[in-house]
Structure 1
Amino acid sequence: MGEPAQTPFKTTGSEWLLPVSEYLGFPLDQVNFLACQLFALTSAFCFRLYLSPAHVSPLVRHFVAALLGIGFLVFCFGWYSSHILAVVVANYLIIIKADLNNVHRYSMVISMGYLTACQVSRVFIFNYGIPSTDFSGPLMIVTQKLTTLAFQLHDGKSDNVRPSLIEYLSYNLNFLSVLVGPCSNYKEYIDFIEGRHISTRLKQQHASSNRQNGYNKTQDPSPLTAVCHKLLVCAGCMLFFLTVTRSLPIKYNVDPDFVSQASFLTRLTYAFFSIQAARPKFYFAWTLADAVNNAAGYGFLGMDEHGKPSWDLISNLNIIGIETATSFKTFIDNWNIRTGIWLKTVCYDRAPKHRLALTFILSALWHGVYPGYYFTFLTAIPITIAARAIRRSIRHYFLGSRVMKLGYDILTWAATQLAICYTVMPFLLLAVNYTIVYYRYTMLILHGIALKALLPSKLLQFFHSIGSPRFISPY
């Protein structure tokens, strides 16, 4: 599939901020998104201070959270928001009517099916043309929430109590997470609305550690410090995006002149830094969403080892963990954390076999139908397996001294970052023709390394199975 058609930008959402968009030079949908998130941040503080469980009933909190969330959807996406509302209503009928033994299956099929149908229509029918408003992000988040609740009902983690309509709408469409997430546990969200969130987390922590961690029960900890810290991170990410990211466009990796004239080392270096520079926009969106939830009093994890409150319960990323990752798995575990938890819950922990492959395929399907997504996630399967095999084979040789361990960490950090760069590039390029150009000049080098790393272990398993009494010859 080629590059999306270059058509004049139009939106189905509000055009109130069009002058701001034209003045700043940013697409209107991004301006609308940022305006809603900043309004959500202000509303979140008011929600915690003036609509706290001590002042109003849970019903009022549910109603306000859902109403604001629906308002954000209509403001950003106009009539396209009907797609999100439609799948929410359809799943509510499943939740209240379906047998609990099968509710998770019905919800997964309907939610993922509708998400895929919408993504197919946008990419292959409209070709990202007119109208060009991208509503797939909120639909992806809603899909996670819908299926999370259904699986929790099936597993008995919601006490087999089906939610009321207002609880259901509030959980799925609340203004704190309707645009960019994160997806959170249904029971934890209900605890937050009903005023039990912090006390429940502290009781769980106290039960596991058998100590109070210096917490004073007479007053809930304030999220203000955590919110300010996360807003500073957002400001830094925005500054980086404006000054660095925009000067290192991803598409330049497949520019014909650059590919034909630059040396292999130059192309590799540019690919590395352009991928690094692409991350801050994700850091910004997810960190701002985390700050919004914290400002409302949601996301309390517990007291840390210093007796200070931690507000990272529903954080979607760990920037330090990402940038210092020394293994493919460590990087994945710190990136889009809530989506990783969702994939583990609905797929990895339940698949009878081929769990890793099925999980990566589901992740690709959830992200969309662009070919680049499938190149990325299918490539990640052998690379993840190969990385595990290599780590098991050589790591113990470097644990003898601090110097060798440091050298090993530096080497594995560089290898991990290059592997991520190689794997993620098609995800950002999206189109088949761009991906082929990229793979051609990288000579599929990491695919080859992964296969070479896997081949010896597979042969050993084969010969071991021949010598095993459990092996049954097919001949």
Structure 2
Amino acid sequence: MDWLQLHPLSLYQGAAFPFALLFNYLCTVDSFSTQSRYFFLLAGGHLLALAAMGSCAVLVFIPALCTVVLIHSLSPQEVHRCTFFFQMSWQTLCHLGLHYTDYYLQEPPSVRFCITLSSLMLLTQRVTSLSLDIHEGKVEAALSGIGIRSSLSGRLREALPYFSYLLFFPALLGGPLCSFKRFQARVQGSSSLCPRHSFWALSWRGLQILGLECLRAALRWVVSAGAGLRDCQQLECVYVMWSTACLFKLTYYSCWVLDDSLLQAAGFGSEFGGGPAEDAYIPDADIWTLETTHRISLFARKWNQSTARWLRRLIFQRGQAWPLLQTFAFSAWWHGLHPGQVFGFLCWAVMVEADYLIHTFANLFIRSWPMRLLYRTLTWAHTQLIIAYIMLAVEVRSLSCLWLLCNSYNSVFPMVYCILLFLLARRKHKFN
């Protein structure tokens, strides 16, 4: 998701708040049936999609419809493979349209089309999560419940939960991935609305968003007043990279807290339900861990947590060879395969591999607490600079900007980890 598109997304997410609160309230009304709840979430998703995407919303509606058709047409053993390849093929074609506009026509893409691509990426998460649940037997597909002689109304009634899950408005434009079982339990259960608790929880998130936006505005003024990546010289480029990456991170943090607040307002937050660990609610932003960790591998697990957990389940745990590389390569594909994304995610995979070896050897040889404190301080600073390097590589669109980044002093930081990876891998091989 391009950080430049997060501001209009936030506007539409904010506009959906009253409807999320209304849904949570209506769940306390006895006359508001389960079917009505599914329909309310689905209708809200359609209206939000049309408002945010315009005519481009059809690019989201079509794969959602096809997914439901595939779920009702295929056996549980086949449904994941077919829905995965269909959804990723559709999303890739849409991303290629963005590439054509961006690189061939040299024109800025429309904001509505970029919002559509962001929504498609989130739809891919829900589609593959649902198909995996069916494949693994965690969710019973409606195939057996819809016979050949079933009426049209019966088929639509059985398909409504799937349509509603794929397009429900609190998660259409952002937010942590919600599993189908958790979604279904929330819709079929009673409201989790506790006015006093909900008020303080949402107020706290509102204060977080306000603080993050104030920091972002101040940092944006500082970044715009200074030199850019094209104008910086030598060590000045390190400061430019770090400050620009901080601006990106604050933008994402603010957006994630807002998305989390919308799901909380609708009753899909952490206060609802228990269930297995894999279905537990995990907010995307763990700001404290992200800003204090000295481990690149931990940063990778905590950055956009629900997406990291989804990638782990979809790719890493199912990969036969080089699962780490497969996971980051797929993440580059899912994000759109821009040159900076391919370079950035593959660099991230190498850095995580180096991180494992470096900290394993450090734990063996560094014993005294002063040395451990010094080690943690240095690795924290190095981790933040490597993450800043990766973030700039992923976010820049033009090859010229990527070339400037690679030719700057900033490349020293990932290069140090690459050298250590080579040396420690040889030493590990000797030990083995």
Matched residue, 2:185: 191
1:51 CA drift (Å): 3.4
Structure 2: distance between partners of 1:447 and 1:300: 37
Read off the aligned partner of 1:426 and give its amino acid letter.
Answer: A
Structure 2: distance between partners of 1:102 and 1:356: 25
Identity among equivalent pairs (%):
21
Matched residue, 1:432: 399
Tell me if structure 2 keeps the 8 A contact 1:188–1:197: no
Q: Are 1:335 and 2:303 an aligned pair?
A: yes
Structure 1: distance between partners of 2:293 and 2:400: 31
Change (3 A) 1:128 1:316: farther
Alignment of 1:26-425 (within 5 A): 33-52=9-28, 54-125=30-101, 127-129=106-108, 131-133=110-112, 134=114, 135-160=116-141, 164-195=158-189, 222-248=197-223, 253-255=228-230, 258-259=231-232, 262=233, 264-301=234-271, 313-401=281-369, 403-425=370-392
Read off the aligned partner of 1:155 and give its amino acid letter.
Answer: E
1:250 CA drift (Å): 12
Tell me if structure 1 keeps the 8 A contact 2:238–2:410: no
- The structure richer in helix per residue is 2
Change (3 A) 1:31 1:411: closer
Change (3 A) 1:68 1:399: farther
Tell me if structure 2 keeps the 8 A contact 1:158–1:187: yes
Structure 1: stretches of 5+ with no match in the other structure: 5-26, 200-218, 305-311, 466-475
Structure 2: distance between partners of 1:194 and 1:188: 10
Structure 2: stretches of 5+ with no match in the other structure: 144-156, 275-279
1:213-242 deviations in Å (ceiling 9; x for gaps): xxxxxx898332221111111111222222
1:451 CA drift (Å): 2.9
Tell me if structure 2 keeps the 8 A contact 1:249–1:274: no
Classify the secondary structure of the residue corresponding to 2:77.
Answer: coil
Change (3 A) 1:127 1:193: farther
Matched residue, 1:469: none
Structure 1: distance between partners of 2:226 and 2:59: 31
1:55 CA drift (Å): 4.5
TM-score by length of 1: 0.79
**Bigger Rg, which one:** 1
1:161 CA drift (Å): 5.0
Read off the aligned partner of 1:387 and give its amino acid letter.
Answer: D
Structure 2: distance between partners of 1:440 and 1:94: 48
Structure 2: distance between partners of 1:420 and 1:80: 33
Classify the secondary structure of the residue corresponding to 2:46.
Answer: helix
Read off the aligned partner of 1:227 and give its amino acid letter.
Answer: L
Structure 1: distance between partners of 2:371 and 2:60: 53
1:395 CA drift (Å): 2.6
1:285-339 deviations in Å (ceiling 9; x for gaps): 11111001111221125799xxxxxxx9231110111111111012122211111
Structure 2: distance between partners of 1:279 and 1:448: 23
Instruction: Kindly report the root-mean-square deviation, in angstroms, between the aligned alpha carbons of the 2 structures.
Output: 2.8
1:253 CA drift (Å): 4.0
Structure 1: distance between partners of 2:386 and 2:185: 41
Change (3 A) 1:165 1:458: same
Structure 1: distance between partners of 2:265 and 2:316: 33
Structure 1: distance between partners of 2:397 and 2:323: 25
Change (3 A) 1:32 1:460: closer
Change (3 A) 1:464 1:196: farther
Tell me if structure 2 keeps the 8 A contact 1:230–1:287: yes
Matched residue, 2:148: none
Tell me if structure 2 keeps the 8 A contact 1:198–1:300: no
1:408 CA drift (Å): 2.8
Structure 2: distance between partners of 1:30 and 1:236: 17
1:59-114 deviations in Å (ceiling 9; x for gaps): 11111111111111111111100000011111111111112112111111111111
